[in-house]
A and B are shown apart, each in its own frame.
Chain A
Amino acid sequence: MQSIEELMALAPTFQGLAPEHLRLIAGCGRNERFGTGERMFREGEPAERFFLVREGAVALEVQAPARGALVIETLHPREIVGWSWLFEPHRWQFDARAIEPTRVITFDGVCLRGKCEADHELGYQLMRRFAGAISERLQATRLQLLDVYGHARLV
């Protein structure tokens, strides 16, 4: 049985954190499971959590009128889901659903925000890492926008 700290250490986002910071963050975390198709959060709901995927896969979705749900990204083991807990107004921007049986570590955002206020070094380390993850996602999203495969069309 791996401890939450051990599981966190496998995630690129948490690489290089000092042991006491790992412990502080792990203190806000707990294991959780979602079944296939189970909704993890909905757009607009309060975002006071984030997740580290251990197993399975999570789909981020947008509901579009007359088009139904559009999956814009899937997230997989060792990846972080959610950063809205860090920024006002702390509301989820998308829906999330487990595509298959999924195990995560759920981190309490309120708990962690409190710890970051008390320990700015912890806050800085977390902010740095989340900024990195957001930057990577932004870059990937921009590539998606480029639509490099082109539109199939009848010539």
Chain B
Amino acid sequence: MHASSEPIAAELGPMVPSPYTVTARRQDTLDTWTLELEPCTGPPMRFDPGQFTMLSALGSGEVPISISGDPGHDGPLVHTVRAVGMATRAICETPVGNRLMVRGPFGRPWPTAELQGLDVVVIAGGIGLAPLRPAVLDLLGRRQSMGRLILLYGGRDPEQLLYTDELERWADLGMEVSVTVDSAGPEWLGHVGVVPRLVGRAQLDPARAVALLCGPEVMIRFTAAALARAGVPGERVYISMERNMQCGIGHCGHCQLGPTLICRDGPTYRWSEVEPWLAIREL
């Protein structure tokens, strides 16, 4: 028997979650919230950009959610969640002061540590910016040793964009930020059109560019094609994959994509590794 005041996670296997308290809650769009969490006991979670946790409001089912916080500081655990079903709606409705259950971190992170001196183009579609935010913060923290830092970000319309106040801050820190939407009113001063159209406009140096992509699978495919046309090959394009996950630890079998288990070998992959498998319908 363990009361909630005792450290739980370390002793009780990987399928037992730790309670975290919601310390801040902010609505980003009509159906997306960003929550900040602090562990009820024990130190803050250390994680690498691109990793995820299995998150749940107690009793409502667990879902894999990318960590969106700053990996460099022991700050709160940040999750940006889109309410699309029962589990995510329950998470999004959790008020400040209540608990959420967390297991993790799991998964293979973005290879940000290996990108010294290169031009990194971060390309996000919709909620895909959430798993990339830790990579952006990590890269901005090391920008003295990086080449160009570029963010290409697309959403459905200006009301669906995430972290809009931060985008300006990132631009001030030297990141080249381009934002596009599928349609907008005349007050919108950014791009209008799909994300792949931003690739050519970024005028990437194919010899130095590496891309990190996250977003809807269709957007990823067409953006990777645009990158290839711009001379950036699939070996230098990294994506984050998503599939049904039940355990996060490589045992339940649900997250298989051909020969890979996404929770264990991913969720980040080189595009060249994973593209042939994504081309198979209903794999």
Contacts and interface: CB of A to CB of B under 8 A. Distances in A.
Answer yes or no: A and B touching, Cβ < 8 Å.
yes
Interface of A: 12, 57, 59-61, 68-74, 76-79, 97, 99-100, 139-140, 143-144, 146-155
Contacts of A140: 193-194, 196-197
Contact of A72 (B83, B155, B183, B215): B183
B146 to A, nearest CB: 25
Contact of A71 (B29, B83, B186, B201): B186
Contacts of B192: 59-60, 71-74
B193 A73 contact: yes
Contacts, number: 88
A146 B193 contact: no
Given A68-B185, A99-B189, A143-B222, A152 B194 contact: no
Interface of B: 29-32, 83-85, 88-89, 125-126, 155-156, 159-160, 180, 182-186, 188-194, 196-197, 200-201, 215-216, 218-219, 222
B137 to A, nearest CB: 23
Given A149-B155, A155-B89, A97 B83 contact: no
A71 B188 contact: yes
B31 A153 contact: yes
Nearest to A76: B201
A77 B183 CA distance: 20
Contacts of A144: 182-183, 193-194
B182 A69 contact: no
Contacts of A150: 126, 156, 216
A99 B156 CA distance: 20
Contacts of B197: 140
Nearest to A142: B194
B30 A147 contact: no
Contacts of B183: 70-72, 144
Contact of B186 (A12, A57, A97, A154): A97
Contacts of A154: 30-31, 83
A12 B200 contact: yes
Contact of A149 (B88, B125, B191, B200): B125
Contacts of B31: 152-155
B184 A71 contact: yes
B186 A59 contact: yes
A147 B160 CA distance: 12
B176 to A, nearest CB: 13
Contacts of B196: 140, 143
A149 B126 contact: yes
A78 B31 CA distance: 37
26 contacts: A59-B192, A69-B186, A71-B183, A71-B185, A71-B188, A71-B192, A73-B192, A74-B190, A74-B193, A76-B191, A76-B201, A97-B186, A99-B189, A139-B222, A140-B193, A140-B196, A143-B218, A144-B193, A148-B125, A148-B218, A149-B126, A149-B155, A153-B31, A154-B83, A155-B84, A155-B85
B185 A69 contact: yes
A73 B194 CA distance: 9
A144 B181 CA distance: 9
Contacts of A73: 192-193
Which 9 A-B residue pairs are closest in the complex by CB-CB distance? Answer: A152-B30, A148-B216, A149-B126, A149-B156, A152-B31, A74-B192, A71-B192, A69-B186, A143-B194
A148 B219 contact: yes
A69 B185 CA distance: 6
A132 B88 CA distance: 43
Contacts of A59: 186, 192
A147 B182 contact: yes
A134 B160 CA distance: 28
Contacts of A71: 183-186, 188, 192
Given A149-B182, A155-B83, 15 more contacts: A71-B185, A74-B180, A77-B201, A79-B201, A140-B194, A144-B183, A147-B156, A148-B126, A148-B218, A149-B160, A149-B216, A150-B126, A152-B156, A155-B88, A155-B89
